[in-house]
Structure 1
Amino acid sequence: MTLSLKQLTLYFSLLSIGSATGWLGHHYVTAKKLTIDPDVIPVVKERTQASTPTFADGLASSTNYNFIAKAVKKVGPSVVRIDASKKLTTQVPEALNNPLLKRFFGENLPVPEEKIKRGTGSGIIISSDGRLITNAHVVDGADTVKVTLKDGREFDGMVKAVDSLTDIAVIKIEATDLPEVPIGNSEELIPGQWAIAIGNPLGLDNTVTVGIISAIDRTSSQVGVADKRVRFIQTDAAINPGNSGGPLLNAQGEVIGINTAIRANAQGLGFAIPIETAKRVADELFLHGKAEHPFLGISMVDLTPEVKNEINRQLQIRINHNQGVVIKRVIENSPAEKAGLRQGDVINKVGGVTVTSPTEVQQEVEKSLVGESLAVEVIRNRRIAEFLVKPDTFPQSIDN
């Protein structure tokens, strides 16, 4: 087939344009030093990010590594599993020890049975030489305690001391160079902040749950454990049996509380002991083998118009305030009675600090020292009076 001069010219022109385009493309790619991975699907980006995105708490995140994962990685090695066991012996009724019964039944008489009660909890390492904090109810009365680190190492633990009033216990293991937990600050918590719990709930090791701080300064009475002296942190992060003694973290991966599954029916709610309380009690337990809690010997209620009318009627006194903290009862022979405090006194200040609720009164008393004078300012018969009370050690039991 004979091609015309016009057709040949067109073909050569197209060939030249194609060659030039390939040559320019090759040099463009080379100049930009681009590489092509056949296993990667290229993605066209509309705009290049100037910096790595961060959360409000300042922690960098990526698709698979968010601030929760970063906090867990930071603290996880310092969280331990605690397995406690206690021997329980079934006692034979005294009547069955009668010689006549033994002769009649022979070897068919029941014999004492020994059972082992086992429980699992969590704990945190607070010093590299093997000092641990957990809940008192996790190890109280235990015969043996086994501590397992996240890396799989196991140690025999020794329960050094237990404080039932705060539900704090301390354990010592023989080890060195252990990772310590970073301690945070619970006194500046605000409801709505992130809360991360780590522990071994229901025997499931290294479990992480997350939620928010639901409330702060929950009293023992509000939580339903009136025998404790703790202002609890409330969270909606799942805390179940086995979480007890483990840490509650903030978004920065710092310990702000010690989780406690102290209330079994608290569905959707968990509670934690503020880390300042836990650390202070733990230090006392390691140093002295016990923790001293100042005790005044009074019971208090918020002063409302209804309470005011009831006290005025029962005690035949005259309270004029409608708000504040009123002493409802003074225990006999208590430091408060010895100092001169009475029923119906409206507490105004404790240790020079103005108080407006029983929780605030208890908070200031807890800061005082056993045996040292504590100034308590009250309003009595429309007059201000100050009494110096010397707190005693909180008694094991209080007569009602």
Structure 2
Amino acid sequence: MPQLRFNFLEKLAIGFVTWLAIVSIGFVIDGSRTAWAAGQTNADSNFVTAAVEKAAGAVVQVNVSRTLGGDIPGALRPFLGRPGASSQSVLRGIGSGFVISSTNTTGQIITNAHVVDSADLVTVSFQDGRILAGKVLGKDPVTDVAVIEVQADRLPTVTVGNSDKVRQGQWAIAIGNPLGLQETVTVGVISGTERSSADIGVPDKRVGFIQTDAAINPGNSGGPLLNAEGDVIGVNTAIIRGTQGLGFAIPINTAQAVAQQLIATGEVQHPYIGVQMVALTPQVKQYINQAPNSQMRVEEENGILVVRVNKGTPAAKAGLRAGDVIAEVNQQPVEKVSTIQRLVDQVGVTGELEVTVKRSDRTIALKIEPEQLPTAEMP
């Protein structure tokens, strides 16, 4: 095999090319390492962790206790305390909450009314280890919202989102203290919106719930439901036992409106008109008209059918009747019962609703003045 001979310049050129190739390979390897490191950083810090980090400092554990009076049978005393101790027992519970506002001296925390119901003592545990005494400013069983106040300086607060913009399929992140396991995070999607209280088995509430499959368990009650940006869109409040992937939250717009009233006055106004209604569809129309014991005949294709008008209520005083079909409220066409409820809430107990109804072959205009929901009808 012939031997190759190179002069000095050729050797210098070959050496330079070899050095350049080695340097280039080094750049490629170094660049690959940088890209790999960036990939690892992105994998370790996704939108969920960013959302949680944004809100977690303002999420708290709500600790409640209630003393049960009366004598405790002797056989049970060894399980409840030392011999000679008080014959009273203490019922303890845990929920969640989140700080919505803070000043130089106080902070306000939203939670569920059922978390603090009948509590003698309320304390609030923060992620930094602080445990503060809490004062219940007010609770509203109709919406299951309560507000706790603590004495503290400049607490971290959540960013409040807009629950009216929540849509099925978007990400949902729940933070809370299920079974006392602090700072638990679960992730899912929004499964549905405007779920009525009757749909989920709590007919005594007046809320159009957000449904999510983010896991919610006892102890999550009162904690925040977040969107992908870490903004609060709901207050986790209910589950249906015996099911999986069915959790429900109070929309934050509703909770905020209730909380502001509780902070200002300690109570909430709940205007009502006193009717039972159902949205008309072809199926509903056919069912009512063909039911053997039906006392109604529905001619309209859409609108809100009045099923019942309770005696002595604002609707009854205005002349609304069972069988009427509500077509418009305040010049706005209505096709959902929730729309009427929203309009009732908007005008309040001092306002007036202009209601257009179809009755047989006539169109009738009525004026209904909502009143405060009677205490007897509240939970």
TM over 0.5: yes
Cα distance change of structure 1 residues 47 and 143 upon mapping to structure 2, 3 Å threshold: closer
Which residue is 1:126 aligned to?
Answer: 100
1:159 aligns with 2:133: no
1:62 aligns with 2:36: no
1:279 aligns with 2:256: yes
Please state how far the C-alpha of 1:66 moved relative to its aligned partner.
Answer: 0.3
Of 323, 326, 337 in structure 2, the residue corresponding to residue 344 of structure 1 is 323
Which residue is 2:153 aligned to?
Answer: 176
Q: Is the 8 A contact 1:86 1:144 kept in 2?
A: yes
Partners in 1 of 2:130 and 2:86 — Cα distance? Answer: 36
Which residue is 2:237 aligned to?
Answer: 260
Structure of higher CA gyration radius: 1
Of 353, 371, 374 in structure 2, the residue corresponding to residue 374 of structure 1 is 353
Q: AA paired with 1:127?
A: S
1:331 aligns with 2:310: yes
TM-score calculated relative to the size of structure 2: 0.84
Q: Is the 8 A contact 1:203 1:242 kept in 2?
A: yes
Which residue is 1:197 aligned to?
Answer: 174
Which residue is 1:320 aligned to?
Answer: 299
Q: Is the 8 A contact 2:285 2:298 kept in 1?
A: no
Name the stretch that deviates more: 324-333 or 118-127.
324-333
Partners in 2 of 1:342 and 1:91 — Cα distance? Answer: 54
1:226 aligns with 2:203: yes
Partners in 2 of 1:290 and 1:134 — Cα distance? Answer: 15
Partners in 1 of 2:317 and 2:71 — Cα distance? Answer: 46
Cα distance change of structure 1 residues 237 and 318 upon mapping to structure 2, 3 Å threshold: closer
SS at match of 1:221: coil
Cα distance change of structure 1 residues 306 and 88 upon mapping to structure 2, 3 Å threshold: farther
Name the stretch that deviates more: 323-332 or 17-26.
17-26
Partners in 2 of 1:314 and 1:48 — Cα distance? Answer: 71
Of 289, 298, 308 in structure 2, the residue corresponding to residue 309 of structure 1 is 289
SS at match of 1:320: coil
Please state how far the C-alpha of 1:351 moved relative to its aligned partner.
Answer: 2.7
Cα distance change of structure 1 residues 27 and 330 upon mapping to structure 2, 3 Å threshold: closer
Please state how far the C-alpha of 1:256 moved relative to its aligned partner.
Answer: 0.5
Q: Is the 8 A contact 1:297 1:330 kept in 2?
A: yes
Please state how far the C-alpha of 1:313 moved relative to its aligned partner.
Answer: 6.5
TM-score calculated relative to the size of structure 1: 0.80
Q: AA paired with 2:248?
A: F
After superposition, the C-alpha distances for 1:15-66 in whole angstroms (9 at most, x for unaligned) are x95997389639985xx9x89xxxxx956749979xx89xxxxxxx812100
Written as runs of structure 1 = structure 2, the 5 A alignment for 1:14-163 is 17=11, 21=15, 25=19, 29=23, 42=29, 45=32, 62-90=42-70, 113-129=87-103, 130-163=107-140
Q: AA paired with 2:50?
A: K
CA RMSD of aligned residues (A): 3.3
After superposition, the C-alpha distances for 1:168-203 in whole angstroms (9 at most, x for unaligned) are 000000012111110111111211101011111111
Q: AA paired with 1:330?
A: V
Aligned length: 356
Q: AA paired with 2:371?
A: D
**Identical pairs, percent:** 44
Partners in 2 of 1:201 and 1:259 — Cα distance? Answer: 11
Q: Is the 8 A contact 1:216 1:234 kept in 2?
A: yes
Unpaired runs of at least 5, structure 1 = 1-5, 36-40, 54-60, 94-110
Q: AA paired with 1:78?
A: A
Q: AA paired with 1:377?
A: T
Please state how far the C-alpha of 1:380 moved relative to its aligned partner.
Answer: 1.0
Partners in 1 of 2:224 and 2:202 — Cα distance? Answer: 20
Q: AA paired with 2:165?
A: E
Partners in 2 of 1:314 and 1:71 — Cα distance? Answer: 53
Q: AA paired with 1:25?
A: W
Unpaired runs of at least 5, structure 2 = 74-84
Q: Is the 8 A contact 2:169 2:189 kept in 1?
A: yes
Cα distance change of structure 1 residues 387 and 311 upon mapping to structure 2, 3 Å threshold: farther
Q: AA paired with 1:82?
A: V
Which residue is 2:341 aligned to?
Answer: 362
Which residue is 2:368 aligned to?
Answer: 389
Partners in 1 of 2:242 and 2:207 — Cα distance? Answer: 19
Q: AA paired with 1:70?
A: A
Q: Is the 8 A contact 1:89 1:112 kept in 2?
A: no
SS at match of 1:397: helix
